[in-house]
Amino acid sequence: MKLRKLGSSLEVSALGLGCMSMSALYGPPADKQEMIKLIRAAHERGVTLFDTAESYGPFVNEELVGEALAPIRDQVTIATKFGFDIDLATGQRRGGTNSRPEHIRAVAEASLKRLKTDRIDLFYQHRVDPEVPIEDVAGAVKELIAAGKVKHFGLSEAGVRTIRRAHAVQPIAAVQSEYSLFWRGPEAELLPALEALNIGFVPFSPLGAGFLTGKIDENTRFDPTDFRNNVPRFSPEARKANMALVGIVKAVAERKGATPAQVALAWLLAQKPWIVPIPGTTKPHRLEENLGAVDLELTVADLAEIDAEASKIQVQGARLPEAALRMTGR
């Protein structure tokens, strides 16, 4: 497995594993023992970055990741997140965001127990809290780093101004946001800012929440509990219109003897050497497919073709429901 660096010192596998879908949001939770086997299989194939959050479940995904990685804890990087207003005793969501320093400290302690570890390698603020100055958030994480409970600081779905302010207090190793051929918003301001600040980028939904695999069309029916039922970009009308984008990666995939998913991930990896996508899956064969993207070389001509064809397409539908969008880019 090839390695990449996030920030100045956090070295991880070129592809990580997003673990959220094993427990939440993409339908019913998968079988726990099967997911433990999948996580360990990913590590055997060279994956060292595993991404979770207290809110996935809540709590159950951290417990899953902690149990799966306990035997190999010192060989992996565990990323988790704080920042939602979740009752730490009951797991009940009480509202929107909560990044008060005392809450961050409490979340860290709870996450450490669930993850069966003495340190969190990468601790992200899940969403920016408009009620708490980002300097206070960065300061709280800085204290956790000084105490040895956290190794690196990250932000998720934050705006450039917030990133700069936080980075001035405690250097940020990585920013996590959605990025793929299905959503290229970070290219305008975020990626140039991260490059200037030497901050790594961890794209979630690098396969467009599954759309870029070519396995979804306007007739696909999602489980009633799948979050995509509420995403404008996944309405049947939008899916039908957006199939043209899938056609681009399919054409390149056929020529390269690869799959659409591999092309989509290889395209992301080719954008910057400090980008580490975290595709998620619950299926061993999809894990193998995704990992194949690391060795798929897209030429300058391939990349130019993808960009030229994609520039002709206006992707239809917002990437998130309105309420969720209001929590991004702060």
> Distance (Å, rounded) from C-alpha 19 to C-alpha 62?
9
In degrees, rounded to 5, the angle at the alpha carbon of residue 175 between the alpha carbons of residues 169 and 179 is 155
> Distance (Å, rounded) from C-alpha 69 to C-alpha 139?
29
Judge contact between 105 and 140, C-beta under 8 A. yes
Structure tokens belonging to residue 287? 């894990």
Q: Which amino acid is at 147?
A: A
110: Cβ–Cβ under 8 A, 6 or more apart, which residues?
Answer: 54, 88
> Distance (Å, rounded) from C-alpha 78 to C-alpha 152?
10
Judge contact between 79 and 65, C-beta under 8 A. no
Q: Which residues are catalytic?
A: 56
> Distance (Å, rounded) from C-alpha 33 to C-alpha 188?
42
> Measured between alpha carbons, how far is residue 197 from residues 100, 177, 193, 272 in Å?
26, 16, 6, 14
What are the phi and psi torsion angles at 262 (to 5°)? -65, -40
> Distance (Å, rounded) from C-alpha 189 to C-alpha 194?
9
